[in-house]
Structures are given as structure tokens and as C-alpha cells.
A and B are shown apart, each in its own frame.
Chain A
Amino acid sequence: MNVVKPPSAFQADHAGNEVAAECERWQREAFEPSRGNRRDRKKFATDTGIPIDPLYTPANLERIGFDYLRDLGFPGEYPFTRGERPGMNRTEPFVVSAYAGYGDAEASNARFKKLIEVGTEQILVALDLPTQCGYDSDHEMAAAEVGSVGVAIDTLADMEIMFGGIPADSLKRIGALGNSIGPIVLAQYAALGEKQGIPWSRYTVNLQNDPLKEYIARGTQILPPEPAAKLASDCVAWCAEHAPNWSPMTVCVNHINAGGAGSSMGTSIALANVQHYVELLLKQGYSIDRIAPLLHMFPDERHDFFVSIANLRALRRIWARMMKERYGAQSPEAMACHTTVYGHGQEALAEPLNNIPRTAFGTLAYVLGGASYVYLAGYDEAVSTPNENSARVALRTLQIIANEHGFADTIDPLGGSYYVETLTAEVEKQILDGMAQIERIGGALPVISTGFGRRKMTEGAVRRQRAIDSGERPWVTVNMWQQKPNVPNTAFRGDAKAADRQLARLAQVKSTRDQARVKTTLAEVERATAENRNVVPAVLDAVRAYATEGEIVDIWRRRFGTFVPSTDF
């Protein structure tokens, strides 16, 4: 960069050079002789492959060409590196959230009430696998899995029971994942408000509704990717018209990183997915300023504390520039990246209580990085749906991070750290490189169809496994102070009675509903789908008529066919 720098910057340069020389001297004379003290095999590099120096100084900032106003600016202002909102945790603390649900609607309702008593401000409902994959509880594919990893929701009747005594506007946000069934889940939450007499403007619904990552990372895909992405984008379009205060799509890095791609490549893939959804909406005539504020990102890094902070900061910067430069956004709301995170660490099966500090540290990094909606994994989550006690500990840990130790007293407390700023720049570069690779193969759909995404994940997962097996990535009780993995008897005990109750309720709803109304509303879903219209209004009518989830999804299966999972590994 051939920019003539003002005197103050020149002085900083000069100081930087002097520091660089001094740092080299220190490394040679003082640090190197001390290396012999360490005999283990630890390599100092991030999980994403960035080498870690023994010490960071102003010389590192010099090397990355750090420019405060250009690279950081101020919270709530472009490029949003230091935070999406002006006050961040200082004036609007992060939202203490819980992902919960198991068995049937009744069991989940009781659990939700306990979570609210403890101080939960947002509930994201964990759906069981049949529901996530578009099967009613009485479908043969649902056998043995009804109510197992989440709650079974077949019709609006289940929603009414699940939120009985919990008004939709009593929490900061409510919602569910609904990645492959977004329009149905959106409609269920819209109809819930109608049943409770609460207008859509008075409560906020959050959906994950990000089907594209399912094909490579999470596995609940139903339809081929193109129609699935279109149905997901219908939810955003419908909210732009009817409920602009809702957040109908949360694009995920989480599962892609956890599956092996690493947090930087995971972010690249997630941002390519954002581009795909956004471009579908722009083609329908929505402006970027109208739709971008409705989108959320779900970043993820669970191996390296400081990378996690750097990733969130880099993500906000990239998002802001992408919205402004690629899509011509003008409103700051469109350029401010909203983030939802789910605190994890390297959780182990042995001695599960150790997962409490692991997840707390992982979550603290997200909070220091400026996340807005924060969940925390139960310490038993590596083996099961959290029990009441672990769910309570998770919430209390969030409250401790929010209120004790002074963690949340000032905004972006690590801004300016030689290490964090250097990492932020390096992580940003990794993410942009990944995005350029994806752009070259043609974007989000080829990530799935060419095997690019799965390849990145498998390679990374194999690399991580080797690093663990060799001891290169230290892991207490796994490769140091080893203990046998242990899955306690409390894990995954699906409540057989809940499954029976669910089947009985579904049979009852099916026999007592207005069959003619179900038939006409489903026919309208079929028409809207065939005519490539936004499906949400028709789905909402079908949901109001107590059509089942499976009945609606079957229309799409017939129309679009189903996705055949890859057998590559």
C-alpha cells in the first residue's frame, strides 16, 4: 500500500520496527534457551492451522498493517468489528438462552417452566429427529425415535400444550431449529400467537431454518438443496412482510466446524450459504436493507479460546463489508451482523463434570467476542439431552458470565490486544480465502454437489483425530491422565410413555379435526408450491386447520423428490 502516512502513524511504524528488532533479540537471547524446559510434543498452532508465536508485540500489528479506524471503528458502527450495537453488554446484556425439549409437549412444557424460573430469557425448542426430518410420530421411520433427542411436534395442538401458561411474549425470543421444515415451524409459531391472542409484533420468533448446511454437516435434509433453500428463503420474505421483528434464519458455522471443517472454513461455507439465500430473495425483488437485518449468524469455535474471539470479530467485519460492497446495503442495520452462539468446549465422555469449566471457557470467549444470544451446552450434552440439573448449571454459568468477574463491564475488552488483533486479521484472511475458493467452484450449491464441503470436513476430522491420538492436541482425561470413556445409564432414556401419549394425541387430533378444511388447505399448499409462490401463507392455513407436519412435507417430497445422501467418506 503506497499511502503517505501522517506523522503519528510514521512514529508508530518506527516504534514498531524498534520493537521488532528488540523482540528478535529477546527471542534469541532469552526465549530460545528456555525451550529445552518443554519436552512434550505440543505444536503451537490453532485448530484452523495458524501458527502461534510465543509473544505478540506492536511489531505484529505493524506486520498486519493495523489501522484502528479502518479495521475496528466503534461498536455499532461500520465495520462493526467491536460489536453489532453501540452499548453491547454494557447497556444490553447478551440474552441468556436455552435449547430444550424432550418427550412430548407436556413433558417439555414442565421443563420450560422450570427453566424460566431459573431465569431463561429465550427458549429454542429441541425437536425430535422424526419431526426434524419431516415424519409424523406414527410414521414407520419414526419408530424408536419419537421424543428421543427432542420433543415430538406433529400439529398445532402440540404447540398449544407446549406453550400452555407460557405467553409467547413472556420471553425475549422463542423458536425452534426447523432446518428442513422452516415454513411449517414458522407457521406453527405464528399460529401459536393467534391462539394466545398475542399479535406478531409483540413477540419474536427465531428459527435456524438453514437447510444448506444440513447436506454436509447435520443430516436432517429432506428435499434436494435448491427447493429446500427456496422454502427457507420464503420464511425470510414472509417475515419481511408480516413480522419484521422476527429472526427467521440463523446461518450456521456450528455444525460445519464441529464436523471437521474448522471454524474459518466453516465460516466461509456459512457465508456462501448466506449469499445463496440472500440472492434468492434479491431476485424476488426484496432489497438487501430489508432482508439482511432479519438474518443471524451462528459462529462456532470450540478448540481455541482466542480464535473464537477473533472469529466473531472478523465475521462482523466481513459481514459488514459483504453487505455494503457486494450487495450495496445502505442501512447500518443491514451491515450489523447478529450472532447467536452455543458454548461448547472439547467435551469428554469421561468425568463429565469437567465439561462445566470447558463449556464455561468456550462460552466466555463468545461473550468477550461480542455474541448477542448465548446458549451453553449442558455438561452431559456429549451423551444426552441435558437433565434438569445440567440445564440449570448451564444457565447459572451464563448468568455468572453476565454478572460476575466484570467480564461484561466494558465493550470488546480484548480489542487492541496484539495477539487478538493479529489473530482477527489472520482469521479474516482464512475466511476470505475460503470464500474465494467457494466462489471459484460456483458458490453454495457446488459446495454440496461437488463434495467440496464434505471433503473439507472429513479431512479436518481425520486431522483432528490424529492430533488427539498422537497427543499433539492435549485433551485432559482423553490423551492426558487418560480415563475410559463412560456413557452413564441416564443417557438418552427416551420416555416410552411420552411416545405413547404423543401417538394417542396425534390419533385424536386426526380424528377430530375438520377434515374438509385440512383437505382444501393442503390442496392450496400444493398449488402454491407448484406455482413457485411463497408457501408460508398456505402452510399457515394448513397449520391452523391442524394438518400434520408429515402431510405438508409429503406434498414437497412428491413435488421435489428427496435428497440421496453421499456415500463418500
Chain B
Amino acid sequence: MIAATATPSRRKIRVLIAKVGLDGHDVGARVVARGLLDAGMEVIYTGLRRTTEEVVRAAIEEDVDWIGVSILSGAHQVLLPKLRRLLDEAGAQDIRIIAGGIIPQEDIPGLQHDGVAQVFLSGTPIAEIVDFLMRESVQPLKEVP
């Protein structure tokens, strides 16, 4: 099912929705995945309990533009910077990270400093996430080969 888009020469935004660590709550992740799909993006979901290494591998294999990490277990300060570092080490500096879930307000600037583009807390309307990805994806959109 390939819908015609306004800019057919450009590919659709590709997003990997990821669950890292042991946190088993993935309703939010799945609802966001559906919302992004409905907004015309291409979405892949990792399933639960992935290591950061597995997420990086999947992101590169699937050639995504964004990784959306859902995290509710409080391990964000360890796992998100690690994910950024592993992406950079693998030469995937162009893959950007957004995060969602339960993340204390005061941790957000630090996470942004460590390479997380944006944090969306539980309760954020899906449209806000869609808008952000559309806007931010405009400049570095990859050409279809």
C-alpha cells in the first residue's frame, strides 16, 4: 500500500520504535507506532526487551531516519546515552533519537545534550510527535536512490 505523496522523489520518513531494557510496558510504544503509520511514515517495532546493541543493528539494517525509544522503567539515563554512543560508533550519526514515556523533567536537558533530539512524556498527543518528525525531517531527507 504505497500512497502517493506530495514529494514523490523523496522517500517516506522511516522510524524504528524500540523498547530497551526490561521494561515490559509497550502500549504507548505501539500506539505511537500506529499513529506514525497513520500519518504516512514507515514504522518498524523492535518488540520488548531489546539490548541497545540490538536496536542499533536493527536501525542500521532497516535504514531508518529516527529511533523512537519508549522507556518507563527509569533506566533512561544509562540506556539513551549508550544508544547514541553506539550509533555514532557504528557511523550512524544521521539516525536521530526521540524518547517517550516516564522521564523526569530535569533529566531532559541532559538527555538532549547527550544526543536525544526530543523527549515526549506520556500524555503527549500523537499529532505533536508527528509534527515534530515532519518538521525535523525536512532538511536532511534522504533522496531515493
Contact = CB atoms under 8 A, between A and B. Distances in A.
Interface of A: 129-130, 132-133, 135, 141-145, 148-149, 214, 218-220, 258-260, 348-350, 382-384, 457-458, 461-462, 465, 469, 478, 485-494, 564-569
A567 B47 contact: yes
A469 B26 contact: no
B140 interface: no
B39 interface: no
26 contacts: A132-B22, A141-B22, A143-B78, A144-B77, A145-B21, A145-B22, A145-B74, A148-B74, A219-B26, A220-B22, A260-B27, A350-B123, A382-B122, A461-B30, A462-B35, A465-B31, A465-B126, A485-B121, A485-B124, A487-B103, A488-B105, A491-B104, A492-B74, A493-B74, A569-B33, A569-B34
B30 A458 contact: yes
B49 A565 contact: yes
Interface string B100-126: 001111100000000000000111111
Contacts of B78: 143-144
A569 B30 CA distance: 5
B88 to A, nearest CB: 20
**Lowest 5 A-B CB distances belong to which pairs?**
A219-B24, A492-B74, A129-B22, A144-B78, A565-B47
A458 B75 contact: no
B22 A349 contact: no
A569 B23 CA distance: 17
Interface residues of B, number: 40
Contacts of A489: 104-106
B34 A485 contact: no
Contact of B74 (A350, A488, A494): A494
Given A145-B73, A148-B73, A219-B26, A469 B21 contact: no
A91 to B, nearest CB: 39
Given A220-B24, A485-B124, 8 more contacts: A133-B49, A219-B25, A350-B123, A462-B34, A465-B35, A469-B126, A487-B104, A488-B105
A141 B17 CA distance: 20
A457 to B, nearest CB: 7
A300 to B, nearest CB: 14
A214 B29 CA distance: 17
Given A465-B35, A491-B102, A567-B45, A485 B122 contact: yes
Contacts of A569: 17, 29-30, 33-34, 43, 45
A469 B127 contact: yes
B137 interface: no
A156 B44 CA distance: 42
A490 B49 CA distance: 25
A469 B34 contact: no
A133 B22 contact: yes
Nearest to B120: A485
A486 B121 CA distance: 8
Contacts of B125: 469
A144 B83 CA distance: 14
Nearest to A348: B123
Given A220-B24, A567-B46, A148 B75 contact: yes
A452 B73 CA distance: 27
A219 B49 contact: yes
Contacts of B24: 129, 214, 218-220
Nearest to A219: B24
A142 B21 CA distance: 8
Contacts of B122: 349, 382, 485
Contacts of A130: 22
Contacts of A492: 73-74, 102, 104
A144 B75 CA distance: 6
A132 B106 CA distance: 29
B31 A458 contact: yes
A143 to B, nearest CB: 7
B48 interface: yes
B99 to A, nearest CB: 12
Contacts of B47: 564-567
Nearest to A148: B74
Contact of A219 (B46, B48, B77, B124): B48
A461 B44 CA distance: 18
A145 B30 contact: no
A489 B77 CA distance: 13
B49 A145 contact: no
A233 to B, nearest CB: 22
A132 B49 CA distance: 13
B43 to A, nearest CB: 7
B86 interface: no
A461 B49 contact: no
A383 B102 contact: yes
